[in-house]
Amino acid sequence: MTAPAPTASRSGTRRASAGRQASASGVGHWSADLRDPAGLRVFVDLLPPRRLGRALDLGAGEGDLALALSARVDRLLALDPDPRALAVLRRRAAAVDPHLRRALQLPARIHNVDPVLAPAESLARWPSGSFELVACRNVLHLLRDAAAVLAEVRRLLRPGGLFLLSEPAVPAAVAAAWSELLSARDGLPQTYRSEAQHRELLVEAGFAARRAGAWSMRHHIPRAGHEELFRRARAVIGAWSDADRGALALRFRGERIEYGYRCPVWACRPVGGPGRAGHQEDER
Ligand SMILES: C[S@@+](CC[C@H](N)C(=O)[O-])C[C@H]1O[C@@H](n2cnc3c(N)ncnc32)[C@H](O)[C@@H]1O
């Protein structure tokens, strides 16, 4: 596997802040790359050309993906359990950043995105077939029971509906150790998975899953404030193979450990019944 390529960025300043992005939410660890229109466009380009009906963004956070998708759907519910993140989303929908507007052809104000303060574990509130599109970017690793949530997503999709899932891909050999390190850093449990593990989860949930694109995200672990973790991370990562370190673009740089993710985007269609899904041909 090759190291993640840096995504396009607006300016050097923006790129410099990509390691540890202070988020309004404080839930998890955020990267400025979540805001990068080039990464968001990967999702928009996977939508069918016709306008879609009702959509759901699962773990919408501060709304980058929800806003990007909004112009292509009638109504989008932006679900997240963090009220501070949703407050940011509301502000951003009321005055869309001009850079994002230009890059994604968005209006100055977005009216069709409704924030919903709830976790992904609460999808039972909607009847089956409620949505034509469900999106979920960089949330699955935060869920205690990802398989149960994916099964619910499948239930919520109309026949012929589309589920766009994106998650960081981590080499299978180091996924458990990596999950442990980042859970310790953020003080919340996280489960990172390999591409093959994501595909397996999707197929088990009853989706035909196609790896349809990818985008990249960079972060770092600073020594300051994380001394013990920093020492542990150096020791753990130091024992990994070059290939595994390379897949996460891991670099020790004095006061910080830099890393990056290649995040595949899975375009998924519900099929007959759970466990009966097949693979689809991936992007080349
Ligand atoms: C890294 S952010 C990604 C935000 C957004 N999906 C994006 O791509 O810009 C992760 C988000 O997952 C949300 N989250 C954490 N636990 C969740 C859960 N159980 N259900 C739904 N969302 C959750 C967090 O509040 C946070 O907003």
- The three-state DSSP-derived secondary structure of the chain is CCCCCCCCCCCHHHHHCCCCECCCCCCCCECHHHHCHHHHHHHHCCCCCCCEEEEEEECCCCCHHHHHHHCCEEEEEEEECCHHHHHHHHHHHHCCCHHHHHHHCCCCCCCCEEEEECCHHHHHHCCCCCEEEEEEECCHHHCCCHHHHHHHHHHHEEEEEEEEEECCECCHHHHHHHHHHHHHHHCCCCCCECHHHHHHHHHHCCEEEEEEEEEEEEEEEECCCCHHHHHHHHHHHHCCCHHHHHHCCCEEECCEEEEEEEEEEEEEEECCCCCCCCECCCCC
CA distance 93 to 91: 5
Nearest residue to 193 (alpha-carbon basis) of 204, 31, 60, 19: 204
Tell the residue nearest (CA) to atom 8 of ligand 1: 137
Residues 90-119 pLDDT 10s:
999 999 999 999 999 999 999 999 999 999
Domains of the chain (ranges, CATH numbers)? 12-169+190-216+263-270 (3.40.50.150)
Among 80, 86, 92, 190, which residue has the most ligand 1 atoms within 8 Å of its CB, making it the best to mutate?
80
What's the pLDDT at 281?
Answer: 52
Say yes or no to pLDDT of 17 above 70. no
What's the pLDDT at 186?
Answer: 87
Pick 209 or 275 by higher pLDDT.
Answer: 209
What's the pLDDT at 83?
Answer: 97
What's the pLDDT at 97?
Answer: 95
**CA 60 – ligand 1 centroid, Å:** 6
Mean of the per-residue pLDDT values for the chain? 87
Share of the chain above pLDDT 70, in %: 85
User: How sure is the predictor about 274, in pLDDT bands with cuts at 50, 70 and 90?
Assistant: very low
Nearest residue to 116 (alpha-carbon basis) of 30, 56, 73: 56
Taking each helix axis from N to C terminus, what angle separates 175-186 and 227-238, rounded to the nearest 10 degrees?
Answer: 170
Residues 174-188 pLDDT 10s:
999 999 999 988 889
Residues 245-258 pLDDT 10s:
999 999 988 889 99
Pick 204 or 20 by higher pLDDT.
Answer: 204
Say yes or no to pLDDT of 69 above 90. yes
What's the pLDDT at 282?
Answer: 59
132 lines ligand 1 (CB under 6 A): no
Residues 198-246 pLDDT 10s:
999 999 999 999 999 999 999 888 888 888 888 899 899 999 999 999 9
What's the pLDDT at 283?
Answer: 56
What's the pLDDT at 220?
Answer: 86
| Residue with tokens 């997240």, as numbered in its chain | 80
Among 142, 143, 156, which residue has the most ligand 1 atoms within 8 Å of its CB, making it the best to mutate?
142
